[in-house]
């Protein structure tokens, strides 16, 4: 095998609480990740000589060395001591950047899994997750996929009962949000009473999806909206036609709403979405690999 093709999926956060600031400068969080079928397309071709090339379309305005997918490729190459093995990596971006949907972390995880298979390295999912956290805190989740609890900095992953096959509508404004800026601005929220993901995870254990939706939460939403007041306006516009609890994903700027199983109003939703300045995706949640 000299080439492998991978779908690199996005995520939403069904729950996200910030528990405090760690000594290492990161924030300790509790989050419930959910993979969705919005995805980038990645192809990886084997090449001799050790060079790692990464091409992204549409092109990113960053140096190759700063691309998290490139960092992941170099990491697994060095870890496996495959210095005579290289790769040409092409990434077709469909997941919007800077919207809290995890596209970059997903690309990194897909590259780790892809090269592990292409080069016949034999790393387990646990091995790849350990590698993944060296390039990004969300990368370990994407190694496992599906529905997972993330703790510590988000990199400690516990698989949860699946929340797959559920209809989801994801919407994002025409501007990104800086994750670093949101976390930097969160100090005032750290004094608020903390919420726990326990009620959500218990609902998932008994397949009570309707009950689970009542416990969706994101501590970062108010922080991001304070930084970008236009997010308040965007969410208000979504609220004029939504059919459930609207929650921001990650540090934003995307929002999502889980739709009923019998939902058949896509054309109505599309007409309303066209009035917004941004994008949208209608799809489903995914199971683990």
pLDDT of residue 242: 60
Q: What is the pLDDT of residue 265?
A: 63
Same domain, 200 and 136: no
Shared-domain flag, residues 138 and 192 = no
**In a shared domain, residues 24 and 152:** yes
- Per the structure, how many domains does the chain have? 2
pLDDT of the residue at 99 = 96
State CA 83 to chain mean position distance: 30
Same-domain status, 197 and 148: no
Which of the pair, 264 or 153, is modelled with greater confidence? 153
Q: Are residues 121 and 10 in the same domain?
A: yes
Which CATH number do you get for residue 249?
Answer: 3.30.70.890
**Is 11 labeled as catalytic in the residue annotation?**
yes
Q: Are residues 207 and 142 in the same domain?
A: no
132 and 42 together in one domain: yes
For 5-36, how does the pLDDT look when each residue is reduced to its tens digit (9 = 90+)? 999 999 999 999 999 888 888 899 999 999 99
| pLDDT beyond 70 at 191 | no
Q: Write out pLDDT tens, residues 26-68.
A: 899 999 999 999 999 999 999 988 899 999 999 988 888 999 9
Q: pLDDT, tens digit, for every residue of 99-144?
A: 999 999 999 999 999 999 999 999 999 999 999 999 999 999 999 9
Strand partners, 97: none
pLDDT above 90 coverage of the chain, percent: 69
pTM of the model: 0.94
Q: Please report whether residue 289 resides in a domain.
A: no
Sheet hosting strand 278-284, strand order edge to edge: 247-248, 255-258, 167-173, 278-284
Q: What is the CATH number of the domain that holds 127?
A: 3.30.230.10
Res 155: pLDDT: 95
Beta strands in the chain (DSSP E): 3-21, 27-48, 52-57, 85-92, 147-151, 156-159, 167-173, 217-218, 247-248, 255-258, 278-284
Taking residues 228-252, report their average pLDDT: 84
Q: What is the pLDDT of residue 237?
A: 82
Element (H, E) at 275: none
Distance set, CA 81 to CA 85, 136, 250, 252 (Å): 9, 21, 35, 38
Which residues have a Cβ under 8 Å from the Cβ of 3 and sit 6 or more positions away?
Answer: 43, 44, 45, 46, 118
- Domain of 75 in residue numbering reads as 3-159
Q: What mean pLDDT value characterizes the chain?
A: 91
Could you tell me if 182 and 225 lie in one domain? yes
Residue in 71, 138, 213, 235 annotated catalytic: 138
Q: What is the mean pLDDT of residues 165-182?
A: 92
Does residue 21 carry a catalytic annotation? no
Q: Residue 236: inside a domain, yes or no? A: yes
In three-state secondary structure terms, 232 is helix
Residue 202 CB neighbour total at 10 angstroms: 14
Residue written as tokens 């509790």? 30
Q: How confident is the model at residue 241 (pLDDT cuts 50, 70, 90)?
A: low
Question: Tell me: the pLDDT tens digits for 85-111?
Answer: 999 999 999 999 999 999 999 999 999
pLDDT computed for residue 21 by the predictor: 87
Chain mean position to CA 212: 19
């Amino acid at each position: 095998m000299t080439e492998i093709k991978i779908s690199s999926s996005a995520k939403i956060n069904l729950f996200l609480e910030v528990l405090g600031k760690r000594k290492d400068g990161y924030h300790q969080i509790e989050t419930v990740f959910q993979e969705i079928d919005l995805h980038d397309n990645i192809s990886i071709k084997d090449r001799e000589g050790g060079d790692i090339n990464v091409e992204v379309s549409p092109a990113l305005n960053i140096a190759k060395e700063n691309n998290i997918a490139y960092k992941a490729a170099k990491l697994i190459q060095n870890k496996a001591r495959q210095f005579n093995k290289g790769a040409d990596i092409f990434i077709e971006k469909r997941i919007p950047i800077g919207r809290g949907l995890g596209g970059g972390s997903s690309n990194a995880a897909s590259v780790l899994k892809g090269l592990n298979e292409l080069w016949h390295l034999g790393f387990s999912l646990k091995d790849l997750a350990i590698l993944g956290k060296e390039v990004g805190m969300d990368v370990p989740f994407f190694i496992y996929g599906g529905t997972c609890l993330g703790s510590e900095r988000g990199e400690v992953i516990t698989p949860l009962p699946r929340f797959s096959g559920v209809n989801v509508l994801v919407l994002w404004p025409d501007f990104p949000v800086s994750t670093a800026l949101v976390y930097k601005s969160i100090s005032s929220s750290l004094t608020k009473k903390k919420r726990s993901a326990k009620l959500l995870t218990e609902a998932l254990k008994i397949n009570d999806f309707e009950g689970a939706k009542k416990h969706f939460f994101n501590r970062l939403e108010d922080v991001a909206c304070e930084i970008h007041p236009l997010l308040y306006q965007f969410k208000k516009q979504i609220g004029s036609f939504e059919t459930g609890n609207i929650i921001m994903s990650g540090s934003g700027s995307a929002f999502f709403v889980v739709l009923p199983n019998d939902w058949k109003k896509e054309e109505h939703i599309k007409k309303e979405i066209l009035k917004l300045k941004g994008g949208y995706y209608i799809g489903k949640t995914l199971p683990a690999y």
